[in-house]
Amino acid sequence: MQLKIHRFLFLLLLILSIQEIKSEEVPKISLRLFTPRAILSTAINVTWFTHGNQEEILGFKCKFWKRNQNEEEAVNVISLNKFQNWILLDGLEIDTYYWVKCRAFNSFGQGDETSRFLEKTFKKAPQKQPTELKVTKVDSSTIKVTFHYDSPSYTKFEEPLEGFKSRIWEKDQNIETAVDKIIPFGEKLEFIFDNLISGKTYQLAVLALSNGGDGVSSPPITFEIDQITSNEEFQLNNSEQIS
């Protein structure tokens, strides 16, 4: 009899503790995917809206697979930032359709999966580089940059041109420090940079832009503003670089 009561109590405890675990279970949070958005020819930004307590989760998991593949071949991407409602799927193939599904997870398991969404990466960024870069001095600290671009002869493998970007940086600094300026496609092919400092050596490059991302850059042109006398054009001798 004594033994039976013990067994009974033991089972009761076991059931209670299992229920305790169950109440602290997989995320009850549900996700609603927004249409994922291609942001480059090799990346898709997946965003979602959450419904439920975001505190109870550890992060999010998305999986993606090519339209012509099976879901079993999907690649998983995990984000441990539970308050960031987006994930960047990177390193994708250009001009390709991908299915995407996401779910929340915590240490007890995974929440419900969203339905699948289809999104296509963009085609290539512009493959042609701008040519005939010219830097003209406007005043002691301002330059004008002009260039040429062989008209929008993008191929079916490239996204249509959206504009041009010029980057200027000090020669002894990393290109990451560059100041960028953008002009929309259709405007005059001209950039103005001011606040340049005399005695410093600068590098400057121009590239075309599209939804596919930054295009192939012109080789950088190197100059010091004092070396350009007024109205004289400083031209990149790119006769070797243009094919």
Find the shortest distance in angstroms from Cβ 104 to ligand NAG: 17
230 contacts 180 by C-beta, under 8 angstroms: no
**Tokens 């979602």, located at residue:** 48
Smallest distance, ligand NAG to C-beta of residue 142, A? 24
Q: State in angstroms the smallest separation of the CB of 128 from ligand NAG.
A: 21
Binding to ligand NAG (CB under 6 A) within 51-90 occurs at: 86, 88
Kindly tell me which residue out of 2, 70, 237, 243 binds ligand NAG, with binding defined by CB under 6 A.
Answer: 237
Gyration radius (Cα) of the chain, Å: 28
Q: Return d(Cα 7, Cα 166) in angstroms, integer.
A: 79
**Cα distance between residue 29 and residue 186, in whole Å:** 47
76, β-bridge pairs: 63
50 vs 154, beta carbon nearer ligand NAG:
50
Q: Report how many residues bind ligand NAG under the rule CB under 6 A.
A: 7
In this complex, which beta carbon is closest to ligand NAG, that of residue 162 or of residue 170?
162
Strand partners of residue 87: 46
How far apart CA 207 and CA 164 sit, in angstroms, is 6
Minimum CB distance to ligand NAG, residue 36 (Å): 9
Residues that bind ligand NAG (CB under 6 A): 39, 45, 47, 86, 88, 237, 239
